[in-house]
Amino acid sequence: MTTPSLNENVLTWTFENYATIASAFSGLITCALIIYIYQRSGSVFFLRDLIWKFFGGTTEFENKTYERNRKELREIEHYRFEFNIPAQSLQHTELVEAWISKNDYSHRDISKVKNYIDWKNFKTIRFKEKLFSKNAERLLIILLGLFMLIISIALPLTSIDYLMVSLKNAPNTPSFYLSQNNAKFKILSDTVLTISDCRSSDSLQKFILPNLSEKNLDSICSVFLDPKYNDYIERGLKAQRGFLFFITTLSIFIVIYALIRLHRLTLARSLHDRSKLENQLYFPF
């Protein structure tokens, strides 16, 4: 019996893990899609119809009244999903259509600013003016600036070959940065502590700081002599880069979200101001 080669083992391992990850990811995508449809349409009657039909049930009623009610529910669900408007009955849809037509809005714009509209009473649809106030806009701009700053800091750090660490037995000692060959006490500094500096006390003097004694430096030097040092740095850098990549990715999503909210806030204010101006023109007194 022959032993499988390294290449065969690697390929088999890679394929099996890829299949597992792809399967899990597909399941998450399916769940996210159903949740999105439910949040937008307010129901999943179409899915219930498919399940009922799959098990042999009929989706139509013989009773004309029941069938009319069933079609009305599906029509409302389709309307909510298509236009992203939370109507609860066909009467609501008619009131919404009349309001959109009266104010010369587009369904696309109303779909975008749905959360800025009060849908409690479809006879008197109004904008939630507090949600698109100047304070809300300033908050979004601050959020946008903050996470753009995080991206500008975290993204370049993913390519740095220094691992940020601290001494476990010296909590008051400031954090420092280790690479495969040396240590830094300031990430942007050109001054580095090498193994050759660790060979004499005189060489260590220039690295002594108020919170960094020679004893602390000796502890750092002893780390260089650990036979597993390079492996530790390599594993640590992978974890650090993964964390920074996660922070960067999360920040990018938040920036995109803030930009979308800022656009919709501006659009909601514009639609509100336009309708307010038109009402003043119709009723000047």
Are the C-beta atoms of residues 151 and 251 closer than 8 Å to each other?
yes
Handedness of CA 232, 235, 241, 242 (dihedral sign): negative
Give me the pLDDT at residue 75, please. 93
Whether residue 175 sits in one domain with residue 74: no
pLDDT in tens, 41-85: 877 788 888 888 888 888 888 899 999 999 999 999 999 999 999
Give me the pLDDT at residue 255, please. 94
Other Cβ atoms within 10 Å of 171 Cβ, number = 7
Whether residue 155 sits in one domain with residue 107: no
Report how many domains make up the chain.
2
Global pTM reads 0.67
Q: Of 79, 96, 129, which residue is a domain's last?
A: 129
Give me the pLDDT at residue 7, please. 38
Whether residue 190 sits in one domain with residue 95: no
Whether residue 255 sits in one domain with residue 160: yes
**HSE of 23, CA atoms in CB hemisphere, 13 A:** 6
Domain hosting residue 72, numbered range: 9-129
Whether residue 116 sits in one domain with residue 17: yes
Whether residue 89 sits in one domain with residue 197: no
Tokens 């009244």 sit on residue: 65
Whether residue 149 sits in one domain with residue 95: no
Q: Does a structural domain hold residue 166?
A: yes
Q: Does a structural domain hold residue 250?
A: yes
Q: Does a structural domain hold residue 271?
A: no
Whether residue 110 sits in one domain with residue 31: yes
Q: Does a structural domain hold residue 278?
A: no
Give me the pLDDT at residue 283, please. 46
Whether residue 149 sits in one domain with residue 96: no
Q: Does a structural domain hold residue 87?
A: yes
Give me the pLDDT at residue 279, please. 58
Segments in the chain below pLDDT 70:
1-23, 25, 276-285
Whether residue 221 sits in one domain with residue 157: yes
User: What distance in Å separates the CA atoms of residue 197 and residue 210, rounded to the nearest whole number?
Assistant: 19
pLDDT in tens, 31-44: 888 888 877 887 77
Whether residue 105 sits in one domain with residue 24: yes
27 token code pair:
């399941």
Whether residue 212 sits in one domain with residue 105: no
